[in-house]
Amino acid sequence: MSAPAAQGATPAERLKRQSVGLLLALIVQAILGFGLSLYVSVPASISVTHVFVSIPLLTAHIVLGFLLLIGTAFLVRSCYRSGVPGLTVRAVIAFLAVLVAIQEGFAYTFTLNNDYSLGMLLAFLVALAFVALIVIRLRGSRAPAAVPTAPA
């Protein structure tokens, strides 16, 4: 898509794209997380440098997690500016859930306690659910149709 086409989009259309993009990123994050739990064994003593150098799947999962945190922060701002009732609360809950998932993920990585893994999964599911609720809410709203002009 070209820059002029993106600039010509209404705020509602941009919010729809942003929320759908976040939903897709959350799905990719889930796939990475499932791949980690199935195929990667994290050593008992691990350093941050070791994580980024030797486990690329975990690195991708961590980087995408931080991008999701930034994305949900922007979603909060966009939902607030949209003025659509209920969207801001949903976006704030999604943002907080991503924040909790990141915290639980780091706690799991450095302790290997499965309780943190469960906490990460539950927080992720909350974030996924609330972003999906935003997408569903925005899906029903349509931009007003252009009024046809009579030929002169």
Per run of 10 residues, the mean pLDDT along the chain (length 152 residues) is: 58 87 93 77 62 74 92 93 89 95 84 80 93 89 49 54
DSSP state at residue 144: P
Does residue 6 lie within any of the structural domains? no
Does residue 110 lie within any of the structural domains? yes
Does residue 45 lie within any of the structural domains? yes
Does residue 145 lie within any of the structural domains? no
Tens of pLDDT, residues 49-60: 666 666 787 888
Does residue 149 lie within any of the structural domains? no
Report the predicted TM-score, pTM, of the whole model to 2 decimal places.
Answer: 0.77
Instruction: Tell me what pLDDT residue 143 has.
Output: 47
Does residue 61 lie within any of the structural domains? yes
For tokens 């659509």, the residue is: 84
Q: How many domains does the chain have?
A: 1
Does residue 151 lie within any of the structural domains? no
Does residue 4 lie within any of the structural domains? no
**How many CB atoms are closer than 10 A to CB 62?**
19
Three-state SS for 13-52 is HHHHHHHHHHHHHHHHHHHHHHHHHHHCCCCCCCCHHHHH
User: Domain range for residue 88?
Assistant: 11-140
